[in-house]
Amino acid sequence: MKFTERRSMMVIPVLLLIAGIAMFESCEKYSFKMETIVPGDSVRFHTDVQPVFNDNCILCHKGTRDPDLRAGNSYNSLSSGGYINSPFSSSELYKKVNANHPSSLSESDRVKILTWILQGAKNN
């Protein structure tokens, strides 16, 4: 009888461990759900994208770290630095924004930048 009690006391922690591992394995650490982009919506660089850079990016990308995203420098820095080369869906800026870099960008700001890139990344 003692052997059976001891054996059942050993099984319980093992089952709890397995259940805990299964629970955490099913969790998704990062999730980014892309908003629906209406094809007719036009995103302009100077009025839509640059303000996102001004509010979120120039703390780090202010001329000392590439790309320089300060107003007046950002488009040239992005285009000459290879950040918005075609095909645009594989450009470096597209990859960074799509991979939650930086994580402080709101979903609507991400969508603005991604839409601008997919619309040809024009200096408009």
In this predicted model, what pLDDT tens digit does every residue of 14-60 receive, in sequence order?
Answer: 767 776 666 655 554 444 455 555 556 789 999 999 999 999 888 88
Greater model confidence, 85 or 66: 66
C-beta of residue 67 within 8 angstroms of C-beta of residue 61: yes
CA distances 26 to 18, 60, 94, Å, are 13, 35, 28
How far is 118 from 55, CA to CA, in rounded Å? 22
* Mean pLDDT estimate for the chain: 79
Q: What's the token pair of residue 90?
A: 């594989």
Specify the higher pLDDT residue, 110 or 11: 110
> pTM for this one?
0.65
- The pLDDT assigned to 28 comes to 47
What's the pLDDT band for 69 if we cut at 50, 70, 90? very high
Nearest-angstrom CA–CA distance, 45 and 121: 8
CA distance 110 to 103: 10
